[in-house]
Chain A
Amino acid sequence: MSGRGRGAFSRGRGRGRGGGGRAGPIIRDETGGILTARKLEGPPPLFPAVETLPERPDITQGNNAFLVERRRTLHTFWNESAYYIEAVDKDTSSVPSDVERCLSRSKPGPQTKRKSLSLYLQLSSMFFPAELLGNQRKKRRENDEEGIWNLKGSSKSDLGRLDKLASLEQKVGQKGDKEAGENKEGEGAEENEEDQDIAFDDEDEFEDDYGKNEEFDDDEEYDFDDGGGDDGKAYNSLLLNS
């Protein structure tokens, strides 16, 4: 019995040892072939290559240029219209609101001065649910409604913006010549006011860091009067005192 037990025990052990050489259970597919596991060579790729890519589309074919142009018109209009609702951040007390940030340049922010929503919406219970109207009913002035439909400035192409900047630069140049002829005394405050009247686009060359100290004159407040008037007075006072 002990032999049998020992044998059984050894068989169990033997089986274990004997079975150590095999890889594991064999998996076969439907056709009878053996399936072997693939060796993993590191993690799978994050963006595996796509074998069959479609043809690269040509924007100039057919009516596609019209579609793209119309899409841009609509998209630009909506982004710059009163329908684009933004939350006003009240926590900017430490930062002045007129400081322009890099990220805000491309987004149509408060700088674009949106028209009021009430100019376009018919705020009446005939058109909208009454519970939404609330305090929206403001009396519209006739002056506010001027030019609210023709928002074509932003819908021009990017090349149009370059032309606009060039024309603005010409205007500044002309105005600068006029000022040189009229005001030779150079009152800086007046010049600054005239500069602000010019409707510059985003890139105003006088308002960025490079243009800050453009007109700063270190010697403005110092009168180097070498005429000796003060010295003369001091000398005379000394003489008088003595």
Chain B
Amino acid sequence: MAAGYAGKLACFLIKDQFGDLVHSVCECLISRGQLSLPEIGSFTLLARPHLASCLLVLIQHNCVQAFKVLDEDNLEARLRYTAIVDHVVLRACFPLFLELIREKTGNDQSEELALGLLQHGRLTLEQLIKRDAECSNSEDAQSQFMEAFTNLLQHKLVERCPRPEAVLGFSDNAGDGRPAKKARGSSKKRSLPLNFETQVRRVLAAAAPMEAERFRGPSRWIMDEDAAASTPSTSEKRKHGALWDSSSMDEKEVLWRVNFEECVKLLRHKACASHVNFSFGSDAKTVVEAMLEATRKTETTVKAAFSDALTLNDILILRSDWTAPVVRNALKRMVEEGFINSVGDAGSHYTVAMQKIVELARKTEVESIVSQRFGKPSSRILRLLSKKGGSEQKAISEKCLIPDKEAWQLLYQLMKERYIELQEVPKSAGDRAPARTFYLWHVDFSKLSSVVLEDMYHAAYNLHRQIEHRLEHEKEVGGFYSPCVCTKKVETAAAYYTDNRLIV
């Protein structure tokens, strides 16, 4: 069951985009966990045709995944559905993805293709070609389409869709938290239900195609590229023929979608580069950007801790307008602060420590949020606690140059918001009398990150509700969509929490 406001925001987005019926199904899955079709029907009270249509729409838009869990006899259990809250929440960031795709590919046609995929969720190549033919009027549409799609594939911004029904083995125990069946003679202990997010990740991993297959282009295009190398004249005709000859299996039987993971990776790189710019300036930023771009394709996970290693010569080749002294100087400063690690023989290779940069960016962001919400003295307290660890109230007020009474109020205000914690340390064992106990204030950044993320989801949810409320009032004015400040606030919030969700 997805926690708090992330789930609420997800439900609201679905309601706003696809209506009340689809919203009721999505809300049921998010609040109740993984359910089968009859269970969803009994909770939502929808007629079977409507229920099936709603689930089809959610699967089409990558918000729900169906899966089966094998029992201990390897027999297939009933099909169940799980909501993918992360994908639903990312729907608010689609404009950012389009902006990223436009920047990376430098091609308006690629962006248009990506727009079609985001609008429809997933499409076959045949459908993409038809859509492109209807929407564009250029004579050279065919070759432009091929170039745009290949461009997206090379950047791994589109991928093949996962299987419609994932199958999980009995040992995974990725069910709905029901205890596994006891084998005879086994211990009486029952296995604990897995965390909801872990279960969703297992389901997605089981449904995803193999890595080699995921970004493989249509087979007919690959054959034509080989043919083009041998006989240029006839292959030209064959290439164009392949686009319109829909007998190719790949064009009809493979669904494509935008690769959300790659887009999130790009946003993470952007966040790292902007923090490096904040700390060291624009030279260091361009060095880090180039290193991350060069090693992006070798990153296997979204939250990779380090990038791939590059030598100094490899880095210098990346941009033609660099000079060796500027690059060396920037690398040296970043290595001293730990933003870049020098590895290999005599430190000849350099890797970007992305996890560390993200953690530092988180701390800066959280301090900024605390400063805006509670004032600068509060941000001084937070910075002291993050460096020093546990401190008593008097020590905090002395070091942060804050009067005792004010320090007391600020500390309890921060504790009420769950930003800091209070730990009781008795002077002698078993004696917890207040006069003989130390009260230490400390901050746990991993917990603080999740609290701030929850606050961001809450803020985004409130903003979406606000704009809906305002639009309801403004319907009298001819039904025009009035660009009020709230629209911008929604966009700002979406961009803010996306950037910072990666940071936080």
Residues of chain A having any CB pair with chain B under 8 Å: 29-31, 33, 52, 54, 56-59, 63-64, 66-68, 70-75, 77-79, 81, 83-87, 103, 105-106, 117, 120-123, 125-129, 131-136, 145, 147, 149-150, 152, 158, 202
Complex interface: chain B residues within 8 A of A66 (CB): 95, 99
Is the C-beta of B489 less than 8 angstroms from some C-beta in chain A?
yes
Asked if B488 contacts A68 (CB within 8 A), the reply is yes
- The verdict on A132 contacting B18 (CB below 8 Å), with A31-B405, A59-B488, A73-B115 known, is no
Segment with Cβ contacts to A, from B3-11, B47-55, B235-243, B349-357: B47-55
Known contacts A120-B127, A126-B164, A132-B37; 7 additional CB pairs below 8 A are A70-B95, A70-B99, A70-B115, A74-B94, A86-B19, A129-B59, A149-B116
Q: What 0/1 readout, one digit per residue, does chain B (456-486) give for beta carbons within 8 Å of chain A?
A: 0000000000000000000100011101010
CA distance A72 to B488 in the complex (A): 12
Complex interface: chain A residues within 8 A of B165 (CB): 129
Top 3 nearest A-B pairs (CB, nearest first) are: A149-B131, A70-B95, A150-B134
Q: Which of B116, B120, B408 has the most CB of A within 10 A?
A: B120
Is the C-beta of B22 less than 8 angstroms from some C-beta in chain A?
yes
Closest to A157 in B: B481
- What would 23 A/B residue contacts be, using CB atoms closer than 8 Å? A29-B408, A30-B404, A57-B488, A59-B485, A63-B99, A64-B488, A68-B95, A68-B491, A70-B95, A70-B98, A71-B490, A85-B18, A86-B20, A103-B475, A117-B57, A122-B124, A122-B255, A129-B66, A132-B56, A133-B52, A134-B48, A134-B52, A136-B56
- The verdict on A67 contacting B99 (CB below 8 Å), with A57-B485, A127-B255 known, is yes
Asked if B373 contacts A52 (CB within 8 A), the reply is yes
CB distance from A110 to the nearest CB of B (A): 12
- The verdict on A84 contacting B19 (CB below 8 Å), with A74-B94, A128-B56 known, is yes
Complex interface: chain A residues within 8 A of B66 (CB): 129
Asked if A74 contacts B119 (CB within 8 A), the reply is yes
Asked if B164 contacts A79 (CB within 8 A), the reply is no
Asked if A85 contacts B50 (CB within 8 A), the reply is yes
Q: Which of A77, A79, A83, A105 has the most CB of B within 10 A?
A: A83
Closest to A108 in B: B19
Is the C-beta of B130 less than 8 angstroms from some C-beta in chain A?
yes
Asked if B55 contacts A132 (CB within 8 A), the reply is yes
Asked if B79 contacts A129 (CB within 8 A), the reply is yes
Asked if A147 contacts B56 (CB within 8 A), the reply is no
Which of B21, B375, B487, B491 is the one whose CB lies under 8 Å from A85?
Answer: B21
Closest to A202 in B: B479
Q: What 0/1 readout, one digit per residue, does chain B (50-89) give for beta carbons within 8 Å of chain A?
A: 1011111101110000100000000000010000000000
Asked if A68 contacts B255 (CB within 8 A), the reply is no
Asked if A85 contacts B54 (CB within 8 A), the reply is yes
Complex interface: chain A residues within 8 A of B50 (CB): 85, 87
- The verdict on A59 contacting B483 (CB below 8 Å), with A84-B19, A131-B37 known, is yes
Closest to B132 in A: A149
Which of A78, A117, A121, A150 is the one whose CB lies under 8 Å from B17?
Answer: A78
Asked if B17 contacts A79 (CB within 8 A), the reply is yes
Asked if B131 contacts A128 (CB within 8 A), the reply is no
Asked if A67 contacts B96 (CB within 8 A), the reply is yes
Which of A29, A52, A54, A128 is the one whose CB lies under 8 Å from B164?
Answer: A128
Complex interface: chain B residues within 8 A of A29 (CB): 405, 408
Complex interface: chain A residues within 8 A of B57 (CB): 83, 85, 117
Complex interface: chain A residues within 8 A of B485 (CB): 56-57, 59
CA distance A85 to B492 in the complex (A): 29
CA distance A105 to B37 in the complex (A): 34
- The verdict on A57 contacting B492 (CB below 8 Å), with A85-B54, A128-B56 known, is yes
CB distance from B121 to the nearest CB of A (A): 8
- The verdict on A117 contacting B119 (CB below 8 Å), with A57-B488, A68-B487, A122-B255 known, is no
Which of B18, B121, B372, B404 is the one whose CB lies under 8 Å from A84?
Answer: B18
Complex interface: chain A residues within 8 A of B120 (CB): 120
Q: What 0/1 readout, one digit per residue, does chain B (162-201) give for beta carbons within 8 Å of chain A?
A: 0011000000000000000000000000000000000000
